Structure 1
Amino acid sequence: MAKTLKLLTFNIAHGRGLSLYQGFHSERVIRRNLSRIAQLLNDSGADIVALQEVDERSHWNKNLNLARLIQEESGFGYAQIGVNNRREGGKPLAYGNAILSRHPVHFWENNPFGSATLGEKGFIYAEVDVDGHHIPVINLHLDFRSRKRRIWQVERIVQYMRQRPCPRRGDGMVAPIICGDFNSGSSPDGDAVNHLFQTVLEHGDYQLYPTDAKTFPTYWPRKAIDFVFVPEPYRVVGEEVRKSYLSDHLPVLVEFEIAPGE
């Protein structure tokens, strides 16, 4: 019998909620927001969670480790944060992407796109062990300003995929699930999403989710910029953009099957 898993991707906006401004919130408010995010993750039934804009230790949210607090509140057994921005001094910053999992994380590695101390993006690669099946996941956050830079960042990810051997299944390699905040739509001129989609087809037959729902901004969603790329042999049996008011992005949930022989 096929095993079903759920993966959720969510840009949590540093735990500030729907506020447009960073750094003007009390620790109590931030902790409340994180508790609500943890509740959303539990309510979704997600087995694997990919988060963006997650702080390890930043002055603007009281030096709280957001990934660790969400993990403690939600009960996920495993959490890894990949810091793409790090600045010391009187106003320290350390934030990036995170992977949370109900199942053991067999391997993980962080890959910043550059070395800026503010605004740097990157991706985290992880292999999640589900009953002996290693499921590779890439959680990314792409630049919001420049189409040219997003394309360059996608090429970095593709190069990584070509150079890093993914787990084996049978006679072939397993293509990774790719998800996160692309800051780009999926229309023909959607730059990074389409560029990645066309390129990763060489690694397997991918499907893109959500198929038609919008993810940004939360109150009046006008476009989808948060996606999950699901490769064969996984078979998607459900997708949902979940309603929430915990960030300026909406979370995307995908449910998929792993066949017994995989």
Structure 2
Amino acid sequence: MKVMTFNIAQGVGMDNVEDLTRVAELIRDSGAEVVALQEVAVDEHGDQGVRLAARLGMEIAEGYKLGRWHCGHGHPSRPYGMAVLSRHPIEAVAHHLLPPSPDDYRELLEARILGIRFLAAHPTAEGEAERAAQLAAIHRITGSAGGPAVLLGDLNDAHAGPPGAAYADPGPTWPADAPAERLDHVYGLGGVAVKEARVMTALASDHLPVVATLAL
């Protein structure tokens, strides 16, 4: 199974142009069956995640929009959060609130697909202590139920995985035009192996999307 994690920066690319079509094309070209999206905004046309799901013919688990942020010069501050898109039926959705951070509240968005728990995360980049507390909560929740699980997202940290999780290094993912930091990851737990992970070269966001191949 192929999965993707992508911080879409509200659809604003490195050229400061907002264009969800580029995001949709990257998702389609990746061949991913499950996609975790971060920094998904509610704009004047509605929820960006819902529009991407409709365009791609995928199901969606909508995350809470708990914070406000703007991406790029001249773009408005908007409610934003996460989403999980799936080419398979989404069997259940859960929202796990994380410890608060200086900028806003964060959640761990869980979607059960094919009997596997897919957990999308985006802990804060503001404050190391707050991020550490959120990552600790993410690790605890991810491992709490046992069974197969996949943790994926912009974790804002180079070493953010749960102890013992399967992992393949995709390389640096940020900033997109000169990647130097490993912020975006895919981890497998409960017998899920990450056979390969790679970045897709694109300037549709300030992050590069990561595509991973899982052995279930």
**Counterpart in the other structure of 2:72:** none
State the distance in 2 between where 1:158 and 1:225 align: 16
Specify the code of the residue in structure 1 equivalent to 2:86.
Answer: S
Given the superposition, is the C-alpha separation of residues 45 and 212 from structure 1 closer, same or farther in structure 2, using an over 3 Å criterion? closer
**Counterpart in the other structure of 2:111:** 126
Contact residue 85 and residue 120 of structure 1 kept, 8 A: yes
Contact residue 84 and residue 111 of structure 1 kept, 8 A: no
Corresponding position: 1:197 with 2:162: yes
State the distance in 2 between where 1:135 and 1:94 align: 29
State the distance in 1 between where 2:128 and 2:113 align: 31
Q: Return the structure number with greater helix share.
A: 1
User: Among residues 13, 30, 55, which one is paired with 1:44 in the alignment?
Assistant: 30
Please state how far the C-alpha of 1:146 moved relative to its aligned partner: 1.1
**Counterpart in the other structure of 2:126:** 145
Structure-to-structure mapping, 1:11-90, within 5 angstroms: 11-18=7-14, 30=18, 33-55=19-41, 57=42, 61-76=43-58, 78-85=59-66
State the distance in 1 between where 2:183 and 2:11 align: 19
State the distance in 2 between where 1:158 and 1:238 align: 22
Please state how far the C-alpha of 1:62 moved relative to its aligned partner: 2.2
Contact residue 101 and residue 127 of structure 2 kept, 8 A: no
Given the superposition, is the C-alpha separation of residues 92 and 219 from structure 1 closer, same or farther in structure 2, using an over 3 Å criterion? closer
Corresponding position: 1:95 with 2:80: yes
User: Could you say what the CA RMSD is over the residues aligned between the two structures, in angstroms?
Assistant: 2.4
**Counterpart in the other structure of 1:208:** 167
User: Among residues 229, 234, 239, which one is paired with 2:192 in the alignment?
Assistant: 234
TM-score by length of 2: 0.86
State the distance in 2 between where 1:49 and 1:14 align: 15
Please state how far the C-alpha of 1:19 moved relative to its aligned partner: 5.3
**Counterpart in the other structure of 2:147:** 174
SS in structure 2 opposite 1:220?
Answer: coil
**Counterpart in the other structure of 2:203:** 245
State the distance in 2 between where 1:35 and 1:181 align: 21
Given the superposition, is the C-alpha separation of residues 50 and 86 from structure 1 closer, same or farther in structure 2, using an over 3 Å criterion? same
State the distance in 2 between where 1:136 and 1:212 align: 22
State the distance in 2 between where 1:8 and 1:161 align: 18
SS in structure 2 opposite 1:243?
Answer: coil
State the distance in 2 between where 1:208 and 1:10 align: 17
Specify the code of the residue in structure 2 equivalent to 1:159.
Answer: R
Specify the code of the residue in structure 1 equivalent to 2:22.
Answer: R
Please state how far the C-alpha of 1:86 moved relative to its aligned partner: 5.9
State the distance in 2 between where 1:222 and 1:184 align: 12
SS in structure 1 opposite 2:46?
Answer: coil
State the distance in 2 between where 1:149 and 1:74 align: 35
State the distance in 1 between where 2:139 and 2:192 align: 20
Q: Would you identify which runs of 4 or more consecutive aligned residues in structure 1 move more than 4 Å?
A: 114-118
**Counterpart in the other structure of 2:71:** none
Please state how far the C-alpha of 1:45 moved relative to its aligned partner: 0.4
Given the superposition, is the C-alpha separation of residues 115 and 145 from structure 1 closer, same or farther in structure 2, using an over 3 Å criterion? closer
Please state how far the C-alpha of 1:114 moved relative to its aligned partner: 5.4
> Which segments of 5 or more consecutive residues in structure 1 lack a partner in the other structure?
21-28, 166-172, 187-192
Bigger radius of gyration, 1 or 2? 1
Please state how far the C-alpha of 1:92 moved relative to its aligned partner: 8.7
Specify the code of the residue in structure 1 equivalent to 2:214.
Answer: F
SS in structure 2 opposite 1:197?
Answer: coil
Please state how far the C-alpha of 1:122 moved relative to its aligned partner: 2.0
State the distance in 2 between where 1:127 and 1:224 align: 27
